[in-house]
Amino acid sequence: ESERKNEITILKEALKNSVIDLRNLAKKLIAELGKDKADIFEGHGDIVEDEDFQNEMFDLILKEGYSAEHAAITICENNALDMESLEDDYLKARADDFRDIGNRISEAVFTVHNTEKVSAVQKESAQLFPAKPSIIVASKLSPSQTVAFYLPHVLGFIVSCGGANSHAAILARSLGIPAVMVSNTERESLAENIEVILNYDKKHIIVQPNLQTKKNVEEALRVQTEKKEKRALLLDLAAETKCGYKIGLYANAGNISDLPCIALEKPDGIGLFRTEFLFMEQLELPDEAMQVAYYTEVIQSFQGKPVIFRLLDIGADKPLPYVFQPKEENPFLGWRGIRFLIDNPPILKTQIRSLLRASEITGEEIRIMIPMVISPSEVLVVDKYIKEAQSEIDAQVLLGIMVETPSAALSLAAYKELIQFISIGSNDLTQYTLACDRENELLQDTYSEYHPAVLNLMYTACSTAHSFRMETGICGEFASQIGGALLLTAMGFNELSMSARAIPKVKEAIRSCFKSELQDLLNEALRCTEASEV
């Protein structure tokens, strides 16, 4: 009994110290690199402080006789396995966060047990950091390790586990450190002190390059630098054709941590802010206060520029672990987007109130976009909750819908009194139009936004929306492709929203064309019968 109480005391001290370390790390990152880099560790601190999370560990000690370290590692690993069992890649990647937290608590337990040994361990671990320009090779990096390696001599990372959605990968991108994933075999074949070229754009490495390869890479870097310098001259110029036709180039975003990098490309606004990532990173539903603070920060980051917030879009490939969602045979055709929200009024009402309060605080007009719409009745529900909130909150709202289904694209006249803008979700619109799962590797050659049926549907939706004086935009991958962007410009879309990194190349392409040339190109494309002909 006394042993178990002692382990509880040790764990409490370790948890307290872990929170202090995480808060101090977050403060350090805010001071040196900006708040966006600190969000991950603020989140880790919130998890460690969570009462339910701590009680699970205490129960293992009191009821099962676990040691403090064993209890912490077990609970964190259980959470990690729960995340890994989910289908969504973004949520799967959160497993690494729980393992990182488990390792941190384990180290804190060791410190409580062995205070006198800690300085020796710290001295030994310091020798792991490179003293000359190096690429770090590891099976996997945790967020804590990624930040620890943010040093002048660290040129990049080569790892064999993790993915683009892991917090370590997100941190590396935001810190400007290139990272490439390779196979275990390839990683294990790398010896210390050998020369390696890391090609971030092509996502591969070249081991022990010969002289000619080095010269080729140097020349490629020179050309790339020239292109960047040329495009940098376009940063402050509008995306307009040679004949003066202007189109807005907006960026897609999903996290506050994305915004500083996005701002560097000087977009005209945010055409799609995915609010679901705020929900996916919590252990429970974010309350109104948390949402208000979050949305306010997003708006203030782009003060004076429009930001379109998409209402919570979960279901299909984006489940929430703390919200019950039944297993469905066809989740992409199931209980997702506005369908889920209408069946969960408290979630929908809280998000709408939060968005309106953020508008009131910032004094900016708020743009709200409804996902997965197929009928006006769904828009009426959202409109009703907006009007209810406006009776208490002084906020101006523009309401719009995602056009992701053929039914929405072909019936926009029915929405003419309800909405002020539309945005084509080209990824989903393509898969629903072609009855083609975009995640199915067997159908990669079948899935194409360039299919004439998809192009005609986009053009019809754009033309119909304009006839009712609705603003028109698109926020799928299609807008990031030069060919897609040029066709969409010809269709007459007011704004294209894309990955921020694509903005310079798209702007350059638009500025090199006449609108009449693009319209001729579009007319030819619409007459085609196969995507391959386009």
Which of helix, strand or coil describes residue 457? helix
Strand 248-253 and strand 495-498: the pairing is parallel
> pLDDT 10s digit of each residue in the chain, 534 long?
788 899 999 999 999 999 988 888 888 777 666 666 677 888 899 899 999 999 999 999 999 999 999 999 999 999 999 888 877 677 777 888 899 899 999 988 888 876 544 444 444 444 455 667 889 888 888 777 787 777 777 888 888 877 666 667 777 776 778 888 888 888 888 888 889 999 887 788 999 999 999 999 999 889 988 888 887 888 889 999 999 999 999 999 988 877 888 888 999 999 999 998 888 777 788 999 999 999 999 999 988 899 999 999 886 556 676 776 667 667 677 778 899 999 999 999 999 999 999 999 999 999 999 999 999 999 999 999 999 999 999 999 999 999 999 999 999 999 999 999 999 999 889 999 998 876 666 777 788 899 999 999 999 999 999 999 999 999 988 999 999 999 999 999 999 999 888 899 999 999 999 999 999 999 999 998 888 887
Whether residue 484 contacts residue 478, with contact meaning beta carbons closer than 8 Å, is answered with: yes
Which of helix, strand or coil describes residue 403? strand
CA gap 366, 400 in Å, rounded: 11
Listed residue (231, 220, 163) closest to 197, CA to CA: 220
Domains and CATH numbers, the chain: 1-123 (1.10.274.10), 128-233 (3.50.30.10), 242-533 (3.20.20.60)
The pLDDT value given to residue 420:
97
CA gap 400, 378 in Å, rounded: 12
The pLDDT value given to residue 379:
97
- What secondary structure does DSSP assign to 483-498, as a single string? HHHHHHHHHT-SEEEE
DSSP state of 78: H
Whether residue 366 contacts residue 359, with contact meaning beta carbons closer than 8 Å, is answered with: yes
Torsion of CA 293, 174, 21, 27, to 10 degrees: -60
Give the bridge partners for 158, in sequence order.
137, 180
Phi, psi dihedrals of residue 398, rounded to the nearest 5°: -105, 130
Other C-beta atoms within 10 Å of 341: how many? 26
Listed residue (225, 176, 219, 183) closest to 200, CA to CA: 176
Token pair listed for 190: 């790398």
Of the listed 44, 451, 462, 475, which one is catalytic? Answer: 475
- What secondary structure does DSSP assign to 187-244, as a single string? HHTPPTT--EEEETTTTEEEES--HHHHHHHHHHHHHHHHHHHHHHTTTTS--B-TT-
Sheet holding 154-159, edge to edge: 134-138, 154-159, 179-181
The pLDDT value given to residue 121:
42
Whether residue 340 contacts residue 372, with contact meaning beta carbons closer than 8 Å, is answered with: no
Give catalytic status of residue 153 as yes or no: no
Give catalytic status of residue 167 as yes or no: yes
The pLDDT value given to residue 533:
85
CA gap 401, 381 in Å, rounded: 13
Q: What is the pTM of this model?
A: 0.70
The pLDDT value given to residue 114:
67
Of the listed 44, 76, 167, 462, which one is catalytic? Answer: 167
The pLDDT value given to residue 336:
84
